[in-house]
């Protein structure tokens, strides 16, 4: 059993592409992509759910790890890409957060929602033509 595993491992390590795909250099960043994907999906959602603190922390975190991924040997471009995307998504969320809470975005959205509901109510109560 052990020799079968050793033989399989030797086969994997001898082939550069297979060796890469069967390594943490690949699966680390692949599993890490969950964070940027979640962040990008969140850019389409209500700004109320954005956590200002977490977004600020992730902006710093992804910047540092963008640098770290290129400072180690072997350089991990996949991890760099993952944190690059996350940095962009977190900055977008930070913009949406600041716009929502400090530049009148929330007030504007609430006003629009009120006018939309008012129009709907008028339509509902209007006599059928």
Q: Does 21 bind other proteins (CB under 8 A)?
A: no
The string of DSSP letters for 7-34 reads: HHHHHHHHSHHHHHHTSHHHHHHHHHTH
The total of other beta-carbon atoms located within 10 Å of residue 88's CB is 15
Q: Which of residues 65 and 97 has its CB atom nearest to other proteins in the complex?
A: 65
In terms of Cβ atoms closer than 10 Å to its own Cβ (0-12, 13-18, 19+), residue 93 is buried
**Whole-number minimum distance, CB 60 to other proteins, in Å?**
7
- The residue count for binding other proteins (CB under 8 A) is 21
Dihedral of alpha carbons 96, 101, 104, 109, sign = positive
Q: Which of 11, 34, 119, 120 binds other proteins (CB under 8 A)?
A: 34
Q: Does 111 bind other proteins (CB under 8 A)?
A: no
The total of other beta-carbon atoms located within 10 Å of residue 81's CB is 15
Q: Which of residues 68 and 77 has its CB atom nearest to other proteins in the complex?
A: 68
Q: Contact at 8 Å (CB) between 86 and 34?
A: no
Residues 40-79, interacting with other proteins (CB under 8 A) = 54, 57, 60-61, 64-65, 67-68, 71-74, 76
The binding site for other proteins (CB under 8 A) comprises 23-25, 27-28, 31-32, 34, 54, 57, 60-61, 64-65, 67-68, 71-74, 76
């Amino acid at each position: 059993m052990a020799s079968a595993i050793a033989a399989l491992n030797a086969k994997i390590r001898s082939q550069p592409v297979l060796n890469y795909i069967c390594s943490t250099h690949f699966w680390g960043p692949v599993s890490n992509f969950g964070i940027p994907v979640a962040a990008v999906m969140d850019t389409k959602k209500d700004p109320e759910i954005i956590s200002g603190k977490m977004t600020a922390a992730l902006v710093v975190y992804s910047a540092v790890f963008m640098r770290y991924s290129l400072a180690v040997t072997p350089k991990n471009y996949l991890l760099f890409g993952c944190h690059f995307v996350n940095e962009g998504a977190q900055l977008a969320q930070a913009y949406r957060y600041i716009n929502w809470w400090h530049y009148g975005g929330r007030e504007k959205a609430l006003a629009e929602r009120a006018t939309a509901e008012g129009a709907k109510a008028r339509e509902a109560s209007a006599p059928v033509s």
